[in-house]
């Protein structure tokens, strides 16, 4: 079979048979060469790319895999960046954490050794910790950088490596590009200093946990209600991930006493044996927790992903059945509760703001306006929310931020999405609703009745290979060059093109500059409040269409419009939009 493989791939693989590599790696590469299979091609046809968020890939030997050498080269590049960027500091420091993934301690120690070998002090967590705690530690310890070993919710074969700046947020421009440039300069493992310096290594753990939890508790808005409802039943599952370490502790710190575990999923395991995917956006990932809620009579289910930066929830509907909420709905509950309490507690001074991503529901803007808060829309990615927080720091107060993909942040002591505090504040929202004899579902219904019923769905179109990429770009070009004026019998009132950085008001003919980085994203806004967003994925061969339509919810009138009726009507509208767009 090997004769059918590109000679360049074979030559690239044979370079991994030299003394620079360990015996295990050499044996693995030799096996792939002997077999001459697709595995060899996949492992060596390209180099694992260090992107703006870091590394992510399948584990194994090869230039296109997560292993000691690709991680070492990335870390050497990051070390070189830090030494240039902070040349005036006597001692540069970096915090490192890892989640439940297979080989995580190995990759964490490899990373730590390369950094200390380069004279950089490392604060290494003693065992697995959530991503948001890594962000907190960077700030708490005044580090110049942070590294989180995680592949988020990817399948068990993957691992990854996320890089953070000195503010505890993931790197943004121009720093991300500067790091990428330094990483690309490292072309051979021989350029990496793998031998660490133990004197520059310091283990951290419980003390940071306590600081993190105590600071988190300061964001609680109604400890009195929690005290009165401390036995409120909730089911929590970490889905084998880092949440098991801190989420129950955080809930207890807030005052909750009846946290029901899914014992089989409390087992830390990078193979995720009880689920097909450890992604809380997927209904199947919450099945065991929902079953536990039915068994125990709990009214709330919460599930976090492996690195505990995202949370999915289920609540009881009016029939008493457990139903899943999507990311926009959970964000709506959180934003409404938090801003309501800020107002009730007279904490609103007119200098507060919220942040959401452009693909997230417009209802969050409606809520912000209701309470008189400034709002910011940013590109997809929580690093852009952190960037706004840093930009406004010292001038305005950040209250809450969120994105439709199940990520939320309350307070600014962490600079990435934080499922630990999100679980606590979701539970607090639930007891606030309960104090008014409402469920979370009924509270959501009340929010929709007040601001309008918002319904969002996502459609992805996959087009693989070179021709697929060309098809995707042609689709974007069509909508950019000849945008529709009417969609689903509604006038297009505004078009936002984030690549051209122009917002056009179709009704007035005016154009405004979009003050965000260029991105291949187009949005159409319709007269009835609907929003359509299209953007090619940066990591997969697909184009994503986000649909958000706005309808009416009036459950108490003589001709009531219930949640089910509003949802059916909204979905019909989305199907009409899809048909009109021809996708």
pLDDT tens sequence across 81-120: 999 999 999 999 999 999 999 999 999 999 999 999 999 9
Query: Which of 24, 35, 87 minimizes the C-alpha distance to 59?
Result: 24
Q: Alpha-carbon torsion 492, 497, 498, 501, what sign?
A: negative
Q: Once rounded to an integer, what is the mean pLDDT over residues 538-559?
A: 88
Q: In Å, how far are 178, 198, 486, 502, 510 from 480, measured between CA atoms?
A: 31, 56, 15, 11, 17
In tens, the pLDDT along 247-268 reads 999 999 999 999 999 999 999 9
Number of domains in the chain: 3
Do the domain assignments include residue 111? yes
Do the domain assignments include residue 39? no
Query: Which of 131, 129, 96, 124 minimizes the C-alpha distance to 245?
Result: 129
> For position 541, what pLDDT does the model report?
81
Q: Alpha-carbon torsion 113, 118, 124, 128, what sign?
A: negative
In this structure, the chain runs to a length of 583
> What letter does residue 231 receive in the DSSP assignment?
T
Contact 123, 141 (CB under 8 A): yes
b vs e for 539-570, b when ≥16 Cβ sit within 10 Å of the residue's Cβ?
eebebbbbbbbbbebebeeeeebebebbeeeb
- Give me 560's structure tokens: 């009531």
Average pLDDT, the chain: 96
HSE toward the beta carbon, residue 541, CA cutoff 13 A:
10
Distance CA(536)–CA(472), nearest Å, equals: 7
Domain end, chosen from 181, 204, 227, is at 204
Residue 3's pLDDT band, with cuts at 50, 70 and 90, is: low
Do the domain assignments include residue 29? no
Residue 145's pLDDT band, with cuts at 50, 70 and 90, is: very high
In tens, the pLDDT along 339-385 reads 999 999 999 999 999 999 999 999 999 999 999 999 999 999 999 99
Q: Are residues 291 and 431 in the same domain?
A: yes
Hey, what's the torsion of the CAs at 240, 241, 247, 249, to 10 degrees? 80
Q: Are residues 158 and 240 in the same domain?
A: no
> For position 231, what pLDDT does the model report?
97
Task: Give the contacts of 507 (CB within 8 A, at least 6 positions apart).
Answer: 491, 493
Q: Are residues 300 and 429 in the same domain?
A: yes
In tens, the pLDDT along 210-255 reads 999 999 999 999 999 999 999 999 999 999 999 999 999 999 999 9
Quick one: what percent of the chain has pLDDT higher than 70?
99
Q: Are residues 464 and 553 in the same domain?
A: yes
pLDDT value at 1 more than 50: no
pLDDT value at 41 more than 60: yes
- Provide, for the chain, the percentages of residues in helix, strand and coil under a 3-state DSSP scheme, each rounded to the nearest 5: 40, 20, 35
| Partners of 324 in the β-ladder | 314
Q: Are residues 392 and 501 in the same domain?
A: no
Domain end, chosen from 429, 451, 473, is at 451
In tens, the pLDDT along 487-507 reads 999 999 999 999 999 999 999
In tens, the pLDDT along 311-329 reads 999 999 999 999 999 999 9
Residue 378: give the domain boundaries. Answer: 212-451
Hey, what's the torsion of the CAs at 403, 408, 409, 414, to 10 degrees? -90
Distance CA(311)–CA(240), nearest Å, equals: 14
Q: Are residues 58 and 84 in the same domain?
A: yes
Q: Once rounded to an integer, what is the mean pLDDT over residues 385-404?
A: 97
Q: Are residues 479 and 561 in the same domain?
A: yes
Query: Which of 88, 96, 98, 86 minimizes the C-alpha distance to 116?
Result: 96
Domain end, chosen from 204, 227, 242, is at 204
Do the domain assignments include residue 30? no
Catalytic site positions: 152
Do the domain assignments include residue 312? yes
- What 3-state class would DSSP assign to 180? helix
Do the domain assignments include residue 34? no
> For position 515, what pLDDT does the model report?
95
Show the DSSP H helices in 123-236 as ranges. 131-140, 175-185, 206-217, 223-228
CATH number assigned to the domain comprising residue 560: 3.30.310
Residue carrying the six token digits 């918002």? 454
Q: Are residues 314 and 435 in the same domain?
A: yes
Distance CA(440)–CA(429), nearest Å, equals: 8
Q: Once rounded to an integer, what is the mean pLDDT over residues 153-160?
A: 93
End-to-end CA distance of the chain: 41
Q: Are residues 217 and 314 in the same domain?
A: yes
Contact 377, 356 (CB under 8 A): yes
> For position 558, what pLDDT does the model report?
84
Contact 167, 386 (CB under 8 A): yes
Query: Which of 404, 579, 384 minimizes the C-alpha distance to 498?
Result: 384
Residue carrying the six token digits 């005044």? 142
> What letter does residue 333 receive in the DSSP assignment?
H
> What letter does residue 191 receive in the DSSP assignment?
G
Q: Are residues 171 and 246 in the same domain?
A: no
Residue 555's pLDDT band, with cuts at 50, 70 and 90, is: confident
Q: Are residues 219 and 126 in the same domain?
A: no
- Give me 185's structure tokens: 């300069």
Q: Are residues 468 and 510 in the same domain?
A: yes
Contact 102, 156 (CB under 8 A): yes
CATH number assigned to the domain comprising residue 225: 3.40.120.10
Residue 559's pLDDT band, with cuts at 50, 70 and 90, is: confident
Q: Alpha-carbon torsion 150, 152, 153, 157, what sign?
A: negative
Do the domain assignments include residue 90? yes
> What is the DSSP track for 440-497?
HHHHHHHHHHHH-EEEEEEEEEE--HHHHHHHHHHHHHHHHHS--SEETTEEEEEEEE
7 alpha carbon, distance to own chain's centre: 39
- Give me 98's structure tokens: 């890892």
Contact 96, 132 (CB under 8 A): no
Q: Once rounded to an integer, what is the mean pLDDT over residues 171-196?
A: 96
Distance CA(114)–CA(129), nearest Å, equals: 21
Lowest mean pLDDT among 34-38, 375-379, 507-511, 544-548: 34-38
Do the domain assignments include residue 26? no
> Which helix or strand (DSSP H or E) is residue 423 part of?
helix 419-435
Contact 378, 404 (CB under 8 A): no
pLDDT value at 2 more than 70: no
In tens, the pLDDT along 270-294 reads 999 999 999 999 999 999 999 999 9
């Amino acid at each position: 079979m090997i004769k059918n493989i590109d000679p360049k791939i074979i030559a690239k693989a044979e370079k991994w048979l030299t003394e620079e590599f360990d015996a295990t790696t050499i044996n693995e590469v030799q096996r792939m060469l002997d077999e001459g299979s697709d595995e060899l091609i996949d492992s060596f046809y390209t180099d694992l790319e260090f992107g703006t968020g870091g590394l992510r890939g399948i584990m194994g030997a090869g230039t296109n895999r997560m292993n000691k050498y690709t991680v070492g080269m990335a870390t050497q590049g990051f070390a070189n960046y830090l030494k240039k960027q902070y040349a005036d500091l006597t001692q540069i420091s970096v915090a490192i954490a890892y989640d439940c993934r297979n080989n995580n301690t190995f990759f964490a120690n490899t990373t730590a050794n390369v950094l200390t070998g380069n004279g950089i002090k490392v604060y290494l967590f003693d065992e697995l910790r959530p991503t948001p705690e890594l962000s907190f530690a960077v700030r708490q310890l005044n580090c110049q950088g942070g590294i989180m070993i995680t592949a988020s919710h990817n399948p068990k074969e993957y691992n990854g490596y996320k890089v953070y700046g000195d503010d505890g947020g993931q790197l943004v421009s121009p720093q991300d590009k500067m790091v990428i440039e330094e990483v690309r300069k490292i072309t051979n493992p021989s350029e990496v200093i793998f031998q660490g310096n133990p004197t520059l290594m310091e283990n951290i753990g419980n003390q940071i946990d306590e600081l993190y939890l105590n600071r988190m508790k300061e964001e609680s808005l109604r400890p009195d209600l929690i005290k009165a409802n401390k036995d409120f039943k909730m089911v929590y599952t970490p889905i084998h991930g880092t949440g098991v370490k801190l989420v129950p502790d955080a809930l207890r710190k807030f005052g909750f006493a009846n946290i029901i575990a899914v014992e089989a999923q409390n087992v830390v395991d990078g193979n995720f044996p009880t689920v097909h995917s450890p992604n809380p956006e997927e209904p199947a990932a919450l099945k065991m927790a929902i079953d536990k809620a039915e068994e125990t009579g709990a009214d709330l289910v919460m599930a976090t992903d492996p690195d505990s930066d995202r949370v999915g929830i289920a609540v009881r509907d009016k029939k008493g059945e457990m139903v899943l909420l999507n990311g926009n709905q959970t964000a709506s509950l959180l934003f409404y509760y938090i801003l309501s309490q800020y107002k009730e507690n007279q904490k609103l001074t007119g200098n507060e703001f919220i942040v959401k991503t452009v693909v997230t529901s417009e209802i969050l803007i409606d809520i912000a306006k209701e309470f008189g808060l400034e709002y910011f829309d940013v590109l997809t990615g929580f690093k852009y929310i952190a960037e706004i927080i840093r930009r406004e720091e010292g001038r305005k107060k950040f209250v809450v931020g969120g994105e439709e993909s199940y990520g939320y942040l309350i307070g600014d002591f962490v600079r990435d999405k934080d499922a630990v505090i999100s679980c606590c504040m979701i539970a607090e929202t639930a007891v606030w609703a309960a104090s008014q004899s409402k469920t979370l579902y009924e509270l959501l219904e009340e929010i929709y009745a007040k601001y309008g019923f918002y319904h969002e769905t996502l459609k992805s179109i996959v087009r693989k290979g070179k021709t697929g990429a060309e098809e995707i770009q042609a689709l974007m070009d069509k909508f950019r060059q000849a945008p529709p004026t009417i969609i689903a019998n509604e006038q297009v009132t505004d078009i936002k093109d984030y690549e051209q950085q122009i917002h056009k008001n179709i009704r007035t003919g005016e154009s405004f500059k979009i003050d965000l980085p260029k991105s291949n994203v187009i949005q159409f806004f319709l007269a009835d409040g609907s929003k359509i967003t299209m953007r090619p994925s940066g990591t997969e061969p697909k184009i994503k269409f986000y649909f958000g339509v706005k309808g009416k919810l009036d459950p108490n009138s003589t001709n009531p419009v219930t949640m089910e009726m509003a949802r059916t009507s909204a979905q019909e509208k989305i199907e009409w939009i899809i048909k009109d767009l021809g996708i």
